Structure 1
């Protein structure tokens, strides 16, 4: 019999814990590395907790829910329907100007014109006109605890919440492993998006003519919504 996973939820009081965890979990994530491409590896690793803290603070100002599993072995940040992480006012209040200053104009272009532009376009296609949805901003597991079903348990918790509200869940998978997990949990792949094509390798290192970094826009539909939309 599978061991049950302890799940707890919180808000502002969990900001420092989830920012620190994300700084470790996403230290080699190619999408994050691409966003912070102009920093050296050492600078990027040192900056990640601040980067995550600012973004998650903005999410919390938009009523995000932080969920942790099994004593902070895994955690997620879930933005509720009708609230958006790119809300200019909450980004300002969260101190995002400091992030923009740190990543510079090229970083801003990668974040807004490239990543946000391409994922927003995928949402228009994948959400089929639905304006209300849950957004999994981040979900990750400490390396030594991967493969134990912790992220799956968190996602199942989110699916129960979304099912009760009869609303979809949107996310972007940034690794083949996370993509495979979400597909196994009933998510549909909307589009494969490639960042930095012709500029970087798949691990976000500079490579003229490189293939770029793939990520996968994905959506999960509660059963009744999926049935009514088909």
Structure 2
């Protein structure tokens, strides 16, 4: 999957934002935040299509992706404002979790409900393209990151990234992601990610950038 195209304005720290693990009952709000954040993302459109049903399909798609991936084999972080509202979310798959086919099969009914059989075939083809670009060394993989309406430009995305990357660094681990836009690539570069290649064959005018952040030496 792809991180949402965060903007450079997200580099500014918000006044008060707490980053914590998503609670078991927060899957729906997390998927809604991510679906809203990806509403205009051209790469996501290659997975879920366009039209009036796009938000519903994207929510269902993220629900299945998280249930079969980051929730079972990684971490889902949420950024919460002073009022307790979830402002943003980030999903990460842990090192060594790339091949969780049994969990994906278990979510097949949810994938089908969200995308239909034709959409599932399209999503599988896209995932195969993305998988070919993932580095072989073990790493944390940013499945998706997004900020909800009304919270963009406040640094929520950067706060989510910084929080998880501190833990990644403490574990001496590497990280990987795909940046949807040139603007988001610039932001990710400010966090130490390096451009590897452009991911072609996804049906978009400009493919996303695969980006690698090597493990940091432990102090």
Range class of TM-score, shorter chain: 0.7 to 0.9
User: What is the CA distance between 1:14 and its match in structure 2?
Assistant: 2.3
Of 119, 140, 159, which residue of structure 2 is paired with 1:153? 159
Of 56, 76, 91, which residue of structure 2 is paired with 1:77? 91
Cα RMSD of the aligned pairs, angstroms, is 2.4
Q: Distance in 2 between matches of 1:104 and 1:48?
A: 12
Aligned pairs, how many? 202
> Structure 1 regions of 5+ residues with no counterpart?
203-211, 226-230
Q: Distance in 1 between matches of 2:167 and 2:101?
A: 27
TM-score, L = length of structure 1? 0.77
Deviations 1:92-143 (A, max 9, x none): 22x2244247535553443223x223322222xxx3x41x211111101124
Name which one, 1 or 2, has greater alpha-carbon Rg. Answer: 1
Q: Distance in 1 between matches of 2:79 and 2:115?
A: 32
> Structure 2 regions of 5+ residues with no counterpart?
1-11
Q: Distance in 1 between matches of 2:212 and 2:53?
A: 34
Q: Is the 8 A contact 2:173 2:216 kept in 1?
A: no
Structure-2 change in CA distance of 1:70 and 1:103 (3 Å): closer
Structure-2 change in CA distance of 1:122 and 1:149 (3 Å): same
Higher RCO (C-alpha under 8 Å, 6+ residues apart): 2
User: What is the CA distance between 1:185 and its match in structure 2?
Assistant: 1.2
Structure-2 change in CA distance of 1:46 and 1:10 (3 Å): closer
Deviations 1:53-95 (A, max 9, x none): 11111124533322111331111111112223x52210122x2
Q: Is the 8 A contact 1:14 1:66 kept in 2?
A: no
TM-score, L = length of structure 2? 0.80
SS of the counterpart of 1:103?
Answer: helix
